[in-house]
A and B are shown apart, each in its own frame.
Chain A
């Protein structure tokens, strides 16, 4: 009799034990700073789905480059959600993320945005196009592209904008040099840049649409203009190769690309990667939108423009010395 009841207990215990093991899954999410509000809503939403039952999260938010470097330096992570692909490529090079991370339908991306001009109330200097940025007396604030990886979107948007306006690559580079002469502050990160601008510095701040919307949501008096020619920002996400919970991590990423999740992203100022979730929200289509591929793709751009010694921007910033 005792043996039967013991077997019975074990048989009953087994699924309970298995469920208990699943309940103990803790995913480490390492992300850049802007989507913090979005993930505060997305994580509970995921936990309500069958795939998310019993999954808890530890979260770390900071500047994208910082976070990438922290993971390299040993910060534990199951999922990395960063601002631009090169910050993930840095992890691929250290074998912390699989090389195939972007071989899916979405090329590894989870959200989108565009580069915009944040201007003063009423846009007194009528800044609408990239040429307006280099008019006499216009003061620009942009994060330093060597400390803020995200700031590289701004530079490539400017470069691509010049190309779209009919300039040759050489002329577009000259435009970048001209533009940098108008820069009066180059804070370390996008968020600091916005605060610098809001504190009264400069006439225009080069930002990402989602950053500008984030600021508006938090009561900041932010007005922005989207230039006709601007770059499509794409934010990547990946599972780390050292993750002990790859299945659940993949499930989370899959969830982030579903309609309900993309809707939450959209409500937080991001352009979604799927259609049909933007009712009631305003994400104007820009006629001369281009992607990073238009200006050469990240690999070539990183080397050509942002190499710390030989890059175009290194030369421009360096020659502005004094």
Chain B
């Protein structure tokens, strides 16, 4: 009996110290001078532009990685090609790789003197988009693959023998099975894309009003001793994170119920 309370106390205490308190503190620091200073801080042209850049980065990376995720899931599970194992491992690489290294790799590839030099990729939005795509790549795949494995091919085979072509089979049979897993993966991808810092930092060039994402903006404000600006931008990101959380929570039972 005591054991139950001990575990509960320990677990909740750990969560409070590590999560709730710090995040609550940031909200407090942001609004302690009132709402309007914080509001003004996040509606400056630079801040709004940073938000726009972040949304563009996510707006490209997320759909691209979603389509890739579904295709790759199908490829890995349904089509036993040679090298599927390696393919699977490479997909997981972005999870293990430090973001700074990702940025460095992109610089070495597209920067001056690199293999693909001269295409205005780095120090411009394309480079930042590529960095974001890299780091948020695995999530949809990882959600879709287990589902595809579990669901099995019986229904698809039945559809095929009944005369359905590949697209019809996918749309009518496969997609309904994986759509909630895909949605969940999309949410994770979005969260990752919005929050990316390290890789984007290396390739951005920090052009004011042009290549600063919101995460970079947080660092910039912090370094300029603009406490309100830094924390307010952090709060914007945190609110987006919380929204993501809510959507994730709503989708989970659907994903698991399938």
B-contacting residues of A (Cβ < 8 Å)?
33, 36, 58-62, 70, 72-76, 191-192, 195, 214-215, 218-220
Which B residues lie within 8 Å of A70 (CB)? 123, 205
Which A residues lie within 8 Å of B122 (CB)? 73-75
Chain A residue at smallest Cβ distance from B205 = A75
- Assess whether B207 is in contact with A73, with CB atoms less than 8 Å apart: no
Q: How far is the CA of A192 from the CA of B207 in the complex (A)?
A: 20
Given A60-B208, A61-B208, A73-B112, A195-B123 contact (CB < 8 Å): no
Chain B residue at smallest Cβ distance from A96 = B112
- Assess whether A218 is in contact with B206, with CB atoms less than 8 Å apart: no
Q: A60-B206, A61-B208, A73-B122 are in contact. List 18 more A-B contacts (CB 8 A).
A: A58-B208, A59-B207, A60-B205, A61-B206, A62-B206, A70-B123, A70-B205, A72-B112, A73-B111, A73-B113, A74-B111, A74-B122, A74-B123, A75-B122, A75-B205, A76-B123, A192-B223, A215-B225
- Assess whether B225 is in contact with A60, with CB atoms less than 8 Å apart: no
Number of contacts between A and B (CB, 8 Å)? 44
Q: How far is the CA of A286 from the CA of B225 in the complex (A)?
A: 29
Q: List 26 A-B contacts (CB under 8 A).
A: A33-B224, A36-B224, A58-B210, A59-B208, A60-B205, A60-B207, A60-B208, A61-B206, A70-B123, A70-B205, A73-B111, A73-B113, A73-B122, A73-B123, A74-B122, A74-B123, A75-B122, A75-B205, A76-B123, A192-B223, A214-B225, A215-B225, A218-B224, A218-B225, A219-B225, A220-B225
Q: How far is the CA of A76 from the CA of B206 in the complex (A)?
A: 12
Mask for B82-120, Cβ within 8 A of A = 1, else 0? 000000000000000000000000010001110001000
Q: How far is the CA of A73 from the CA of B111 in the complex (A)?
A: 5
Q: How far is the CA of A72 from the CA of B111 in the complex (A)?
A: 9
- Assess whether A58 is in contact with B207, with CB atoms less than 8 Å apart: yes
Indicate the member of A36, A75, A219, A220 with the most B CB atoms within 10 Å.
Answer: A75
Q: How far is the CA of A60 from the CA of B208 in the complex (A)?
A: 6
* Number of chain B residues whose Cβ lies closer than 8 Å to a Cβ of chain A: 17
Which B residues lie within 8 Å of A192 (CB)? 223
The 9 closest A-B pairs by CB, nearest first: A74-B112, A218-B225, A73-B111, A75-B123, A191-B223, A59-B208, A62-B206, A60-B207, A75-B205
Which B residues lie within 8 Å of A58 (CB)? 207-208, 210
Q: How far is the CA of A127 from the CA of B207 in the complex (A)?
A: 40
Minimum C-beta distance from B58 to chain A (A): 23
Chain A residue at smallest Cβ distance from B107 = A73
Q: How far is the CA of A76 from the CA of B207 in the complex (A)?
A: 10
Which A residues lie within 8 Å of B206 (CB)? 60-62
Which A residues lie within 8 Å of B112 (CB)? 72-74
Q: How far is the CA of A193 from the CA of B207 in the complex (A)?
A: 23
Chain B residue at smallest Cβ distance from A222 = B225
Chain B residue at smallest Cβ distance from A28 = B207
Mask for B193-224, Cβ within 8 A of A = 1, else 0? 00000000000011110100000000000111
Which A residues lie within 8 Å of B207 (CB)? 58-60
Minimum C-beta distance from B168 to chain A (A): 48
Q: How far is the CA of A220 from the CA of B112 in the complex (A)?
A: 40
Which B residues lie within 8 Å of A191 (CB)? 223
Which B residues lie within 8 Å of A195 (CB)? 222-223
Q: How far is the CA of A90 from the CA of B238 in the complex (A)?
A: 40
- Assess whether A33 is in contact with B223, with CB atoms less than 8 Å apart: yes
Which B residues lie within 8 Å of A215 (CB)? 225
Which A residues lie within 8 Å of B226 (CB)? 218
Minimum C-beta distance from B198 to chain A (A): 13
Q: How far is the CA of A79 from the CA of B224 in the complex (A)?
A: 22
Which A residues lie within 8 Å of B123 (CB)? 70, 73-76
